Structure 1
């Protein structure tokens, strides 16, 4: 039986480190916005639905997305990553998925093949979560089983989910992710590099 996974893309941040440019609106050499590239790979993968959490520059990002996705708005994007997780999980759980794949909008090098590898590893292992790695570095996206979703909603501020991945009662499967799973584009230099990518 195929397990249903909803992708949750976090795209609500202010992008202050790349100001005045917004990283998700940056374009590659072909003119494709970063957020559109990220969502295109999810569309090519085997996830069953995609939810995008918007906040700052919501209308611009929605317009640039160019993908079939459901958009929700984080009413308090300045209250940290956890507020985006809560807003997105509320929408994702309405699909009654077996798991939720938490993705970052500024990681356009993550391809459908890697996404599907995370799904396959998680399905085969029956672990509570699955995370790609590059060497000893843990990366993204991270797949969470439905049993862990209520615990994700209890995170506060900029507290990421790493503490939950490190909890002694949480079994985490890993799979090779390569450099893509640890490469984000959140500095001016990285945006310049993205602009030259085909």
Structure 2
């Protein structure tokens, strides 16, 4: 079983407004991310909210997701990861850590990551696009106790270095794994790439 934790609590300080709420046509960034996860081969989706919780929750509460509020979201992304980890199903074998600002990611990429994780013994599986490491990353629940010790904005990234020999990547033809929204220019590029 694969559980997904969507890290959607951040303040988007570089952008100056909540990137989760940015419009993409008739939908928003967070809705687009969650809707892709809902058709991917994940069994559980946990969305961790913080900043702008009421507005974001109103958009996604009717979807088949578990929503949890992280009151400590200002202390960094790792606090959201930890909140989500406390809710994963006991039968979960892997945790797909999804950023809330990756609306370009393809469902095929998500499913390829899951298939790679489920077919091997690696502790960590991540995508690469043109040789650049991307997101999301799947972590084995064998690393849960270490993930629960994460701090700051690094989340579980330190485990990628620590367990490099027990990690594997898949090369994908999906710019979405390396594209996120941090600036107004990123948002404009997103709209151009999607065709709005």
The alignment of Structure 1 onto Structure 2 pairs a total of residues equal to 192
Query: 1:165: which partner in 2?
Result: 160
Query: Once structures 1 and 2 are overlaid, which stretch shifts more, 128-137 or 58-67?
Result: 58-67
Query: 1:10: which partner in 2?
Result: 7
Instruction: Give 1:162 shift.
Output: 2.2
Q: Is 1:69 matched up with 2:34?
A: no
Q: Any stretches of 5+ residues in structure 1 without a counterpart?
A: none
Q: Normalization by structure 1: what TM-score? A: 0.91
Query: 2:146: which partner in 1?
Result: 151
> How many angstroms apart in 2 are the aligned matches of 1:168 and 1:42?
26
> Could you give the per-residue CA deviations for residues 81-137 of structure 1, whole angstroms, max 9, x where no partner exists?
111111111112x44311110000000111211000001111122211100011321
Q: Normalization by structure 2: what TM-score? A: 0.92
Q: Is the 8 A contact 1:139 1:181 kept in 2?
A: yes
3-state SS of paired residue (2:36): helix
> How many angstroms apart in 2 are the aligned matches of 1:13 and 1:162?
17
> How many angstroms apart in 2 are the aligned matches of 1:41 and 1:147?
26
> How many angstroms apart in 1 are the aligned matches of 2:52 and 2:164?
38
Query: Once structures 1 and 2 are overlaid, which stretch shifts more, 188-197 or 158-167?
Result: 188-197
> How many angstroms apart in 2 are the aligned matches of 1:146 and 1:53?
18
Q: Any stretches of 5+ residues in structure 2 without a counterpart?
A: none
3-state SS of paired residue (1:127): coil
1:49-198 aligned within 5 A = 49-65=44-60, 67-92=63-88, 94-168=89-163, 171-177=166-172, 178-196=174-192, 197-198=194-195
Q: CA RMSD in A?
A: 1.6
Instruction: Give 1:169 shift.
Output: 7.1
Q: Is the 8 A contact 1:5 1:101 kept in 2?
A: yes
3-state SS of paired residue (1:16): coil
> How many angstroms apart in 1 are the aligned matches of 2:40 and 2:106?
8
